[in-house]
Amino acid sequence: MRKTIVAVGAVLFGLGLILAAAMPSHAQSGGDDVRFKIQAGGRDLYKLAIPASQGDASQGQMAQEVQSNDLALSGFFRVIDPKAYLANLSAEGLTINAQDWKNVGAEGVVKSRATPYGGEVKFEFRLFEVAKGDAPVLSKDYRGSSSAARSFVHQWAAEVVKYYTNEDSFFNSRIAFAGQTGAKRRDIFVMDWDGSNVTQLTRASQNILPSWSPSGAELAFTSYLKGNPDLWVIGASGGQPRPLSRRPGLNMNAAYSPDGSKIATTLSQDGNSEIYLLSSRGDILKRLTNNPFIDSQPTWSPDGARIAFISDRHGSPQVWVMSADGSGQQKVTRRGTYNQTPSWSPRKDAPLVAFTARDEKYAYDVFTVNVDSGEMTRITEGKGSNQKPTWAPNGRAVAYESSRGGVWISTADGRTERQVYRGNASAPSWGPSLSH
């Protein structure tokens, strides 16, 4: 009897998820170059001024907006409000009067100029550290098709992050999501991480819960194309999807292993929601959980050694963790009565899992938990309901769907949050960074 009840519960739980060019040049300035890494509770954010780009007005405005968004959400910088600037920007050109910027509290200043050449554009970027005067510490120029202008700005912003932190950014990555396209239709979309260049991949049925392969070449998702919630795979540029798992019952929550050779997923082919390990072709390699309760929503640790998942075997949905072979299953979260949608951070320096938790006011918010220590941190609070977190490829930010609409991104410490997509979107999945 318990098996039948749980089988129905597994289906309802699954349906709940448904609803629910030039090289950079560095100025040599001795041994006092600014380098930092910011952790939650660490030093203040580095105060950076990004005035409007000189030259072509439309490209310049785009460059200012994209840089500001990139660097504010990188987790390292506080972008100073342009209304506070005192400098004479037209007189300065691509240099700075250091004292004017020091007077508004800027520690760094980014200058740029956009020059159109027919169907091409040239960008000149300069980074200054105010304490070092009017000599740029980083310079880079780009020239190419006007259609690549936004990409040039992302590349420059990535160079700024790299200069200060020696870390890679996430500015050349994409986010997939499911969006409503009709009364009984949802399709899979892909966009640049900041909401630009939205592309629809699927064009039939209910398609939900996209999940990127480690290479970024394809996505797995659940579709009702044939009536049952089955797993399918589609290329990141679209094309004809192919079936991955069409077993009876639920086929959901596909999660690629870090090396791409295996997929952990939720199946209910035996009447209960359990976690299985599939080959990249969809063959069952191993059943990882086996109990009369609901186990679902697997997510891999970055080294591929462990899997976090959701189980209600102790009475309410909580985050659990196990070895990749299914051994050593143990509960991680012990607070809250409804925890779900875990996502393991790609950073290896701390075993953090982001997840959705329902608070005492029945609002859903994003939390993180250290799976070794059990320490929990709240990322969102007091701004609607926020669910289904997914990590940036460098682990410095988290994207999620929100009752405020669209896709939102917060830095991993919760200090900076912005909406990056305003359309209908659910279950975002942040893909890997791509090479330029």
435 domain-assigned:
no
What sign results for the dihedral spanned by CA atoms 334, 336, 338, 342?
A: negative
Per-residue confidence band for 21, with pLDDT thresholds at 50, 70 and 90: very low
Q: Are residues 379 and 425 in the same domain?
A: yes
Domain termination residue (choose one: 165, 191, 218): 165
Does 146 or 359 have the greater pLDDT score? 146
> Which of 7-21, 63-77, 319-333 shows the lowest per-residue confidence on average (mean pLDDT)?
7-21
Q: Read off the pLDDT of each residue in 78-101 and give the average, rounded to a whole number.
A: 94
**pLDDT higher than threshold 80 for residue 279:** yes
pLDDT digits (tens, 9 = 90+) for 293-311: 999 999 999 999 999 999 9
Per-residue confidence band for 9, with pLDDT thresholds at 50, 70 and 90: very low
pLDDT digits (tens, 9 = 90+) for 209-260: 999 999 999 999 999 999 999 999 999 999 999 999 999 999 999 999 999 9
- Round to whole Å and give the CA distance between 402 and 236: 24
The CA distances from residue 252 to 18, 315, 405, in Å, are: 10, 22, 24
Domain termination residue (choose one: 130, 165, 200): 165
Mean pLDDT of the chain: 90
Q: Are residues 256 and 382 in the same domain?
A: yes
Per-residue confidence band for 42, with pLDDT thresholds at 50, 70 and 90: very low
**pLDDT higher than threshold 70 for residue 31:** no
Q: Are residues 276 and 406 in the same domain?
A: yes
Per the structure block, which two tokens stand in for 288?
């990882």
Q: Are residues 247 and 305 in the same domain?
A: yes
Residues 6+ apart with CB under 8 A from 162: 168, 169
What dihedral do alpha carbons 413, 368, 195, 304 form, nearest 10°?
120
Q: What is the per-residue pLDDT for 38? A: 36
Long-range Cβ contacts of 89-94 (<8 Å, 24+ apart): 89/51, 89/52, 89/54, 90/54, 93/54, 94/54, 94/124, 94/126
- Round to whole Å and give the CA distance between 15 and 29: 59
**pLDDT higher than threshold 80 for residue 37:** no
Q: Read off the pLDDT of each residue in 382-409 and give the average, rounded to a whole number.
A: 97
Q: What is the per-residue pLDDT for 359? A: 84
CA angle in degrees (0–180, nearest 5) for 129-134-139: 65
Per-residue confidence band for 43, with pLDDT thresholds at 50, 70 and 90: low
- Round to whole Å and give the CA distance between 154 and 75: 15
Q: What is the share, in percent, of the chain residues with pLDDT greater than 90?
A: 85
Domain range spanning residue 290?
Answer: 2-19+170-430
CATH of the domain at 55: 3.40.50.10070
> Which of 29-43, 385-399, 412-426 shows the lowest per-residue confidence on average (mean pLDDT)?
29-43
Q: Are residues 222 and 369 in the same domain?
A: yes
pLDDT digits (tens, 9 = 90+) for 92-132: 999 999 999 999 999 999 999 999 999 999 999 999 999 99
31 domain-assigned:
no
Q: Are residues 364 and 248 in the same domain?
A: yes
Q: What is the per-residue pLDDT for 91? A: 92
**pLDDT higher than threshold 50 for residue 23:** no
Domain termination residue (choose one: 146, 165, 184): 165
Q: Are residues 97 and 238 in the same domain?
A: no
Q: Read off the pLDDT of each residue in 314-328 and give the average, rounded to a whole number.
A: 96
Q: What is the per-residue pLDDT for 436? A: 54
Q: Are residues 392 and 256 in the same domain?
A: yes
**pLDDT higher than threshold 70 for residue 414:** yes
Q: Are residues 141 and 94 in the same domain?
A: yes
Q: What is the per-residue pLDDT for 405? A: 96
Q: Are residues 251 and 289 in the same domain?
A: yes
Q: What is the per-residue pLDDT for 4? A: 32
pLDDT digits (tens, 9 = 90+) for 187-215: 999 999 999 999 999 999 999 999 999 99
Cβ atoms of 318 and 358 within 8 Å: the answer is no
Q: Read off the pLDDT of each residue in 2-7 and give the average, rounded to a whole number.
A: 34
Per-residue confidence band for 1, with pLDDT thresholds at 50, 70 and 90: very low
200 domain-assigned:
yes
Per-residue confidence band for 375, with pLDDT thresholds at 50, 70 and 90: very high
Per-residue HEC secondary structure of the chain comes to CHHHHHHHHHHHHHHHHHHCCCCCEECCECECCCCCCCCCCCCCCEEEECCCCEECHHHHHHHHHHHHHHHHCCCCEEECCHHHCCCCHHHHCCCCCHHHHHCCCCCEEEEEEEEEECCEEEEEEEEEEHHHCCCCCEEEEEEEEHHHHHHHHHHHHHHHHHHHHCCCCCCCCEEEEEEEEECCEEEEEEEECCCCCCEECCCCCEEEEEEECCCCCEEEEEECCCCCCEEEEEECCEEEEEEEECCCCCEEEEEECCCCCEEEEEECCCCCCEEEEEECCCCEEEECCCCCCCEEEEEECCCCCEEEEEECCCCCCEEEEEECCCCCCEECCCCCCCEEEEEECCCCCCCEEEEEEECCCCCEEEEEEECCCCCEEECCCCCCCEEEEEECCCCCEEEEEECCCCEEEEECCCCCEEEEECCCCEEEEECCCCCC
Q: Read off the pLDDT of each residue in 343-368 and give the average, rounded to a whole number.
A: 94
Q: What is the per-residue pLDDT for 362? A: 86
Q: Are residues 159 and 181 in the same domain?
A: no
- Round to whole Å and give the CA distance between 291 and 274: 8
Q: What is the per-residue pLDDT for 19? A: 34
CATH of the domain at 402: 2.120.10.30
Q: Are residues 195 and 281 in the same domain?
A: yes
Residue that has been written with the tokens 């030039």 in this structure: 22
**pLDDT higher than threshold 80 for residue 73:** yes
359 domain-assigned:
yes
CA angle in degrees (0–180, nearest 5) for 211-345-20: 50
What total of structural domains would you count in the chain?
2
Residues 6+ apart with CB under 8 A from 337: 316, 358
**pLDDT higher than threshold 90 for residue 356:** yes
What dihedral do alpha carbons 128, 134, 138, 139 form, nearest 10°?
120
Q: What is the per-residue pLDDT for 10? A: 41
